[in-house]
Amino acid sequence: MAQSGIPIIDINSADEATIGKQLVDAAEEHGFIYIRNLGQDISVEQVDEAFELSRRLFDAPIEEKVACAIQTNNRGWGGLHSETLDPRTQKIGDFKEVFNIGLFKKGQPQQPLPPAIVPDQARLEAFRDVCTAMCTKLLRLIGNGLGVGDFFAQAHEIKPGDECDTILRLLRYPPPSSPSSSPSPADAVRAGAHSDYGSITLLFRLRGQAGLEVQTTAENTWAPVPVQPPGTERDPAPPILVNVGDLLSYWTNGLLRSTVHRVVFGGSGVVEGESATDPRYSIAFFSSPSPSTELGVVPSERVRNFVPRGGDGGNPYAQRKVMRADEHLRMRLAETYGDLYKKNES
């Protein structure tokens, strides 16, 4: 068990029924899961290459990134403070820079990319592909663990004409010492408290870079999530952190937890061997179903027998508000990028 209590699961160590049950148990209790032993799914070299491309993209001239500014299709570049993930409490937007990469069609991105990485767009597509395959595997295992087979995996299959809201997100958090990112007011955060909008998320992090915290079941209590949890120090790369998003929680009537989390500058988010003084890079892959997917409760005996917990750890999205995947995404994005969406609706 890691410091935050998040389980570590070797996803290739047993039969699919056993792994599926382990994943469901972890997702019910924590909403977050470390997965390891990924060599046959995602290689260390592929992850290293993705981080190298991320650095190159963010190092591109500002005018090249501005030309790729994020749009209401949730693709493109966002600079410091362009997002406010916790608009209820944040006084200033997130201290981070992002680039969202959507679906490729016939080898071509369906959005502008900075010239600095255009020659390597095939490598970005390849990384999206292995992340998609990993999510399909996890969704199938979770479905098996709940007794609904391939239900979740099939809901994420790309259909002809489907816009596909699945996003590969590159992130860079400038160091606190940078004049452009010096936190003010004192309670500023690198990324505001939020739950993820889609079904499941893969999070790739670099050794030694602190900051991620999860909200525990005791409301307003935060626990750090180490990059390299105890027992994985000799692994060739840090385990991937997987978390449940709002839609998987909707589908399971709250059985699987869409846990609130944030990224902070320091404090309790720093564990031994990690530091928050340097730039922080991460890569997130947000898996989402077809936009028109209905979010009714799945016919699982375990879900039927589940008694919803009160408050769900403070997640404001624990209560169902919409019935389709695209409705939920637009609701969340409109809160995060308020001005952008108001401008397009005026």
Domain annotation covers residue 346: no
pLDDT at 120: 94
Show the low-confidence residues of the chain (pLDDT under 70). 1-4, 178-187, 218-220, 267-269, 309-322, 338-346
Query: Are 59 and 133 in contact, with CB atoms under 8 Å apart?
Result: no
Q: For residue 122, give both structure tokens.
A: 């095939």
Task: Specify if 345 maps to a domain.
Answer: no
Q: Is residue 321 part of a domain?
A: yes
Q: Please tell me the distance from the alpha carbon of residue 219 to that of residue 244, in angstroms, as a whole number.
A: 18
Q: What single-letter DSSP state applies at residue 279?
A: -
- Smallest CA-to-CA distance from 87 within 344, 332, 340 is with 332
1: in domain: no
Query: Strand 261-263 vs strand 240-244: parallel, antiparallel, or unpaired?
Result: unpaired
Which two structure tokens, joined as six digits, stand for 265?
Answer: 């500058």
Instruction: Quick: pLDDT tens for 116-171.
Output: 999 999 999 999 999 999 999 999 999 999 999 999 999 998 777 777 889 999 99
Compute the distance between CA of residue 34 and CA of residue 121 in angstroms, rounded to an integer.
Answer: 29
In a domain, 342, yes or no: no
Domain that holds residue 220: 8-337
The whole-model pTM stands at 0.92
Distance, in Å, from the CA atom of 2 to the CA atom of 227, rounded to the nearest integer, reads 10
Helix (H, G, I), strand (E, B) or coil at 82: coil
pLDDT of residue 49: 96
Give yes or no for a contact between 142 and 27, defined as CB atoms under 8 angstroms apart. Answer: yes
In a domain, 344, yes or no: no
Which residue reads 């999530």 in tokens? Answer: 225
CATH number of domain containing 274: 2.60.120.330
Query: Which pLDDT does position 291 carry in this prediction?
Result: 86
Question: Is residue 2 a part of any domain in this protein?
Answer: no
Query: Does a structural domain hold residue 136?
Result: yes
Q: Locate tokens 């997702």: which residue?
A: 27
- Structural domain count, the chain: 1
What interhelical angle do 44-58 and 121-146 show, nearest 10?
130
The kind and range of the H/E element at 98 are strand 97-101
